[in-house]
Chains A and B, each alone.
Chain A
Amino acid sequence: MIIERSSNWREDFIQRFEQDGPWDSWTLYNKSYEIEKMNLIPEFSGLQAPKFLTNIQLLPHQVEAAQTVIEKMNGKAILADEVGLGKTIEAGLIMKEYMIRGIVKKVLILVPASLQNQWVTELNMRFFIPAIAYRKNTPIEHYDVVVMSMDTAKKSPHREKIYEQDYDMIIIDEAHKLKNHKTQIYEFVQSLKKKFCLLLTATPIQNDVFEIFYLVSLLKPGHLGNYESFQASFSTTKNSTDGEKYLKELVNQVMVRNRRQDTGIEWTSRKVETIPIQFTPGEREVYEMIGALKSVSAVFSSSFTMVTLLKEMCSSKEATFLTLNKMIQKCVTNEESEYIEEILAKLMKLEINSKAEKVIEIIEKANDKVIIFTEYRATQAYLQWYLYTKGISSVLFNGKFSKSKRDWVKQLFRQRDQVLIATESGGEGINLQFCHHVINYDLPWNPMKLEQRIGRVHRLGQEEDVHIYNLAIEDTIEQKILDLLGSKIDVFEKVVGDLDDILTRKA
Chain B
Amino acid sequence: MYAEQVHDYLRTFFKETDCELLSDEGYMLSVQLTADMDKRIMNRPFYWQYIEATNSPANPARLNLITDRTKVQNQFIGEIIHFGSGRLHQIFKATKELGSFVQMYQQSNDRKMLTPYFCVNYKVSYYCDQTKEVLYSLGINLINGDIEDHFHEFVSQLDLKGNIPENSFCLQYIIKPARALERLDGMIQNIIQNDDHSWAEEAKKRWAKELEVLDFFYDGVEEKPESYEIEKKGLKERFNPRIKVEIINGGLFYLH
Contacts and interface: CB of A to CB of B under 8 A. Distances in A.
A9 B247 contact: yes
A42 B234 CA distance: 26
Given A26-B162, A38-B1, A222 B217 contact: yes
Interface string B165-188: 000000000000110010001000
A303 interface: no
B133 A41 contact: yes
Interface in A20-38: 20-21, 23-33, 35-38
B121 interface: yes
B160 interface: yes
B135 A12 contact: no
What DSSP secondary structure best describes chain B's contact surface? mixed
A152 interface: no
A506 interface: no
Contact of B84 (A52, A217, A226): A52
Interface stretch (B25-33, B47-55, B56-64, B100-108): B100-108
Contacts of B242: 1-2, 4
Interface in B94-143: 95-96, 98-104, 121, 123, 125-127, 129-135, 137
Nearest to A15: B101
A32 B135 CA distance: 13
Interface residues of B, number: 78
In this complex, the interface size class of chain A, counting residues with CB under 8 Å from chain B, is 35 or more
Contact of B162 (A23, A52, A191): A23
A188 to B, nearest CB: 11
B234 A26 contact: no
A191 B234 CA distance: 11
Contacts of B227: 190-191, 221
A390 B144 CA distance: 98
A21 B103 CA distance: 8
A451 B79 CA distance: 41
Contacts, number: 198
A376 interface: no
Given A31-B9, A43-B132, A194 B234 contact: yes
A41 to B, nearest CB: 5
Contacts of A128: 84-86
Given A24-B102, A193-B233, A194-B231, A75 B129 contact: yes
Interface string B198-221: 011000001000100111111100
Nearest to A220: B213
A51 B251 contact: no
Given A3-B243, A41-B131, A70-B130, A31 B12 contact: yes
B247 A10 contact: yes
Nearest to A130: B86
A12 B96 CA distance: 14
15 contacts: A4-B242, A5-B185, A23-B103, A25-B99, A27-B99, A28-B99, A32-B99, A32-B248, A37-B135, A41-B131, A44-B126, A44-B131, A128-B85, A190-B227, A191-B230
Interface of B: 1, 9, 12-13, 16-17, 82-86, 92, 95-96, 98-104, 121, 123, 125-127, 129-135, 137, 152, 156, 160-162, 177-178, 181, 185, 189, 192, 197, 199-200, 206, 210, 213-219, 226-227, 230-231, 233-234, 237-239, 241-252
Interface of A: 1-7, 9-10, 12-14, 16-17, 20-21, 23-33, 35-45, 51-54, 70-71, 74-75, 101-103, 128, 130, 168, 190-196, 217, 220-223, 225-226
Given A36-B248, A220-B210, A223-B213, 13 more contacts: A2-B243, A24-B98, A24-B99, A44-B130, A75-B238, A191-B227, A193-B230, A193-B234, A195-B237, A196-B238, A221-B213, A221-B218, A225-B217
